[in-house]
Structure 1
Amino acid sequence: MNTKPKFPFSYYIVLFFGFVLMVLFWIIVLKSWNNLNHNSFSNATNLSEVEYWQQEYMPEQIAQIIPIDTSKIITDSLNQRKIVADLVNIAIKSSPNSIAKFANDLKEKYPSDTYKIIYIDSVVNRLQVQLPEEDRINFKSEVKVKLDKYKLLVWDETLFDYVKTFNDPKLNDRSAGWYLKAININKAWEQTTGDKSITIAVIDNGFDLNHPELKGKAIKPYNVIDKSNNVSPSNTNHGTHVSSTIVANGNNNQGLVGVCPDCSFMPIKVEDQNGMMTNTYIIDAILYAIKNNADVINLSLGMQVPIGLNIPLQEQKEYINSNAKDEEEFWNDLFNYANEKNVTCVLAAGNSNIMTGFDPFQRASSTIKVGAINQNGEKADFSNFGSNTTIYAPGTNIYGAKPGNKYEVLEGTSMAAPIVSGFIGLIKSRNKNISSQEISRILNANSILKNNLKTLDIITSI
């Protein structure tokens, strides 16, 4: 029996083409949607500098540091350092690069809302990323690879403290100027007392710039917390004393004279409103000093290492050789950058009576680490020591300036480091472009081995 088709053939042709058109329609819609999402950041490559700063992922207030969230402070199980667990910092080494454009490139690689830029600063080309705590380690290891067109510094937010000083009511019993005689400073002063073109940056907790020993000395003062030139002193005297040891005015009929009294100094304050300092504040300060043409940077600072650690020397050596290698690599990178810019960094070795370098901040070979000796030329009982210590200088009973036109005696490797910084200021006053290798040679030529310690003693020309 013959049967006729239910629908004419033309009906199926129309239905087929309708189906094809519907498929094409949805392909176009989905492709456009994907392109829109994909290009949300890539289209920004055509933005102006001003427009980069106006992107929605930027912090509401530019260059405003957020106080440390103490609930996020942990002890890093790998490196045994106190860090803020959900923060990572990134700085661009090369000044011409735009930090705002870098922020755009970063968000293109990490578009998730769980990665937030909570701080950005064009002065030192740094930003800070808040991210899931569990992502911190992987993020640090991969961000340089993903953004390899930039030369980056990447680091954790590690808690810092200034190297503690030691006070004693009887410290005033000895002559205030013993340490200048101990290093034979007159031998250097026969050649130079410094030059105003040489700038020594002092990174510390605050400064009394109106003190007679420091008045008229400072150039480009900088507060890394509020980005101002207000570097007013902390309640605890440290920065004022350290600075006076280096550059205190001569011939002013009061106090003592600094090691290089005719050099300039750049005071950089790194203590926040809560009295805290972190490695990021220190790093910002170092970058500021480098980018503002300091010749020497004095760092009488160090990470918080418990005093009185009862760790056998062999275990300390093994720790230095095997642990905190990511921090060591970072500090090496930063201090090598300073060295490339002909900036000499002088560090206090620390006051924990352990091996210098237990703190990875102190391991870079391009820096000068200073231990402390007492008035008998012996290692001060608090001073760190060991092969990472470059040189020793007086660090007990050191007389220096105190805010409010006062003076006091302090001790610590914090007091020894500025003596060496001042001496290097004198060296650079004779030759501003001197190499780090030549500085090392002059330091060696002006030191003696006493009590098995290489101690500063100026005996030859600089």
Structure 2
Amino acid sequence: MKIPFLKPALVMGSALILASCGSGSPKIVSTPIANIDSIPLKITDLSETQLKGWGGADLMTDTIPGMSVEKAYSEIIKNNKGQKTIVAVIDSGVDIEHEDLDGVIWTNTDEIPGNGKDDDNNGYIDDMHGWNFLGDAVEENLEYTRIYKRLKPKYEGKTASSISTADRAEFIYYQEAKEEYGKEYEETVQNRNQYEQIKKQLVAAHQAVSSQLGKEDYTKEELNKMEASGQMAQYKGMLQQIQNNVNENIPEALEELDEGIEYYANRLETHFNLDLDGRAPVGDDPYDITDTDYGNANVMGPSEDKEDLKHGTHVAGIIAAERNNNIGINGVANNAEIMVLRAVPDGDEYDKDIALAIRYAVDNGAKVINTSFGKYFSPNPEWVTEAIKYAEKNDVLIVNAGGNEGLNLDENTVYPNDQNPEAPQEISDNFLTVGALNYDYGAQLVADFSNYGKTNVDVFAPGTKIWSTTPNNEYEYLQGTSMASPAVAGVAAIIRSFYPKLSAAQVKQVIMDSGLTTNADVIVGGDRNNTQDFKELSTSGKMVNLYNALILASQTK
């Protein structure tokens, strides 16, 4: 979620905007951004300020493929607020005490905090800011690990010929999960071992060179001037390669190697651990959709350091971090509240939790739901499908991350989705799947990790190196379609705020129709040998643009 030149395809027309002040919808008479073929490629690196805000940049003025958020605010939205819009974030939880989020967290005013009662009779006790469907659970297996572990006693050692017709489909599913588990487990072990070996070699080289130079904090110039032969020459070459290719000093490189080793070791201890029962703290049956009396109101979960909230906190900030408060960042939406639904552990989410979280969001007033998660095995997809349809019935838009494996989703199924396995049409018209853009307006426009698909990805939005809120009043760069999806959820929230009469389906179509496109070929999946027409990578063939979306929304009846 890299080379041939991209022919720019969009030139912005001038616009005349007449915006009223106050809380109503802005009155717009304008020409939307269109036809960008004459815009030059940006040949200089982004400054730190540009990088931190590139998702809101304007392609015409900045030559950066952002969503024209700041242009929309300065020329269209201005001081208008619109209606308050609730955006549900189904994720790892959110640091609701964060300095840049504490003013935009949804509060259930029908609930009395801390009295141990379900005051509003919605089925959830003391749910002031949402619900924690994971209780005290944090670490969890991947879905194929759970499937393999759960079905192993039934099918281990058996062949297809010994399986009854009634169990044939389940047996095949078990075999697929077992194969995926074995492949991914071995790959993770190899990656950990490789990182450990590289670190061992790098430590030896660094110690030898430091000893010869008489200092550990030697510069690139000092390393280049150092005379070396034999083993020392090999050490020097290795360190030069690190400094030149990675553009880091050696202590930083060692720190990153340690992080990589820890990452893969943790995956082996949790994601692939057949002895881990990550669900035990919850106390429910995750395979019984009628078992709903579980979880708690602590949407920040059990971890005191809040580290497990990083993903959800980052997502929430992209959507609605407080704007123009002289701290932190500006979220996309200026009048949104974040409903926190903790349902995604460190591992794969359960279908039951996602289905119930969607229903909670719908029943408690959310108009937009962000789902920045996904997996490639789903034992109970029908539960989530029915929840998506329930959201459609109640006019709620779901904005979904497309995934980070560089895959064509027309050929690979990722969950959740709005695909109909028995027909070409989608199961609903309220589900918008988002791929990720890079900040390079050129051949690398599509993030190298981003999934894509003419049928099963709808739009693209900024998702590479996004600066946003993280726990304990911190800020950090993260990347993925997980960051692209909330950017679009923020756009959807603004449209629903200013144009509340538009249905979820209309808002989805406005976002898709109003985006910017290009006629150029771009690199797909990080493979320089795989270049494709950008317009063929999603249903709309477009990049989301808030400025254009507001114009089109104002014209939609």
TM-score, normalization by structure 1: 0.55
Does the 8 Å contact 1:206/1:234 carry over to 2? Answer: no
How far apart are the structure 2 equivalents of 1:229 and 1:195? 29
| Residue identity matched to 2:356 | D
Q: Secondary structure at the match of 2:95?
A: coil
How far apart are the structure 2 equivalents of 1:235 and 1:438? 35
How far apart are the structure 2 equivalents of 1:436 and 1:231? 27
Correspondence list, 1:100-179, <5 A: 175-179=51-55
1:345 shift after superposition: 0.4
**Structure 2: which 5+ runs fail to align?**
1-45, 58-65, 107-128, 136-294, 301-305, 420-425, 521-533, 535-540
Does the 8 Å contact 1:188/1:458 carry over to 2? Answer: yes
1:172 shift after superposition: 6.0
Does the 8 Å contact 1:188/1:426 carry over to 2? Answer: no
- Which position in structure 2 is the counterpart of 1:162? none
| Residue identity matched to 1:370 | V
Q: Deviations over 1:145-179 (max 9, x none)?
A: xxxxxxxxxxxxxxxxxxxxxxxxx9969620011
Q: Find the partner of 2:88 among 192, 201, 204.
A: 201
1:439 shift after superposition: 1.3
Q: Find the partner of 1:261 among 316, 319, 334.
A: 334
Q: 1:235 to 1:265 in 2, by over 3 A?
A: closer
Does the 8 Å contact 2:491/2:546 carry over to 1? Answer: no
Identical pairs, percent: 31
How far apart are the structure 1 equivalents of 2:91 and 2:315? 8
Q: 1:288 to 1:171 in 2, by over 3 A?
A: farther
Correspondence list, 1:367-406, <5 A: 367-377=431-441, 378-387=445-454, 388-406=456-474
| Residue identity matched to 1:302 | G
How far apart are the structure 1 equivalents of 2:450 and 2:347? 24
- Which position in structure 2 is the counterpart of 1:214? 101
1:329 shift after superposition: 5.2
| Residue identity matched to 2:321 | A
Q: Secondary structure at the match of 2:493?
A: helix
Q: 1:271 to 1:449 in 2, by over 3 A?
A: closer
- Which position in structure 1 is the counterpart of 2:343? 270
Q: Which has the higher contact order (CA 8 A, sep 6+)?
A: 2
1:344 shift after superposition: 0.3
Q: Find the partner of 1:185 among 69, 90, 96.
A: 69
Does the 8 Å contact 1:202/1:239 carry over to 2? Answer: yes
| Residue identity matched to 2:299 | V
Does the 8 Å contact 2:352/2:384 carry over to 1? Answer: no
Q: Deviations over 1:90-116 (max 9, x none)?
A: xxxxxxxxxxxxxxxxxxxxxxxxxxx
How far apart are the structure 1 equivalents of 2:547 and 2:342? 35
- Which position in structure 2 is the counterpart of 1:442? 510
Q: 1:339 to 1:171 in 2, by over 3 A?
A: farther
How far apart are the structure 2 equivalents of 1:331 and 1:384? 21
Correspondence list, 1:300-311, <5 A: 300-304=372-376
Q: Secondary structure at the match of 2:374?
A: strand
1:444 shift after superposition: 3.0
Q: 1:340 to 1:194 in 2, by over 3 A?
A: farther
- Which position in structure 2 is the counterpart of 1:455? 543
Q: 1:304 to 1:358 in 2, by over 3 A?
A: closer
Indicate yes or no: 2:296 matched with 1:243.
Answer: no
- Which position in structure 2 is the counterpart of 1:347? 400
- Which position in structure 1 is the counterpart of 2:132? 223
1:338 shift after superposition: 0.5
- Which position in structure 2 is the counterpart of 1:316? none
1:280 shift after superposition: 1.5
- Which position in structure 2 is the counterpart of 1:426? 494
How far apart are the structure 1 equivalents of 2:352 and 2:49? 40
1:334 shift after superposition: 2.4
Q: 1:172 to 1:231 in 2, by over 3 A?
A: farther
Q: Secondary structure at the match of 1:209?
A: coil
| Residue identity matched to 1:398 | I
Does the 8 Å contact 1:371/1:385 carry over to 2? Answer: yes
1:230 shift after superposition: 1.3
How far apart are the structure 2 equivalents of 1:351 and 1:300? 11
Q: Secondary structure at the match of 2:399?
A: strand
Moved more, 445-454 or 343-352: 445-454
| Residue identity matched to 2:67 | I
Q: Secondary structure at the match of 2:88?
A: strand
Q: 1:331 to 1:244 in 2, by over 3 A?
A: same
Correspondence list, 1:323-342, <5 A: 330-342=383-395
Does the 8 Å contact 1:198/1:425 carry over to 2? Answer: yes
Q: Secondary structure at the match of 1:454?
A: coil
Q: How many residues align?
A: 273
Q: Deviations over 1:27-50 (max 9, x none)?
A: xxxxxxxxxxxxxxxxxxxxxxxx
How far apart are the structure 2 equivalents of 1:349 and 1:289? 21
1:206 shift after superposition: 1.6
Moved more, 274-283 or 207-216: 274-283
How far apart are the structure 2 equivalents of 1:231 and 1:241? 15
Does the 8 Å contact 2:307/2:471 carry over to 1? Answer: no
Q: Secondary structure at the match of 2:460?
A: strand
Does the 8 Å contact 2:368/2:493 carry over to 1? Answer: yes
| Residue identity matched to 1:292 | N
How far apart are the structure 2 equivalents of 1:235 and 1:441? 35
Does the 8 Å contact 1:346/1:420 carry over to 2? Answer: yes
1:456 shift after superposition: 1.0
- Which position in structure 2 is the counterpart of 1:83? none
1:252 shift after superposition: 1.8
Q: Secondary structure at the match of 2:353?
A: helix
- Which position in structure 2 is the counterpart of 1:358? 413
Q: 1:280 to 1:234 in 2, by over 3 A?
A: farther
How far apart are the structure 2 equivalents of 1:262 and 1:287? 23
How far apart are the structure 2 equivalents of 1:250 and 1:360? 33
| Residue identity matched to 1:179 | G
How far apart are the structure 2 equivalents of 1:383 and 1:429? 29
Q: 1:301 to 1:171 in 2, by over 3 A?
A: farther
Correspondence list, 1:273-312, <5 A: 277-304=349-376
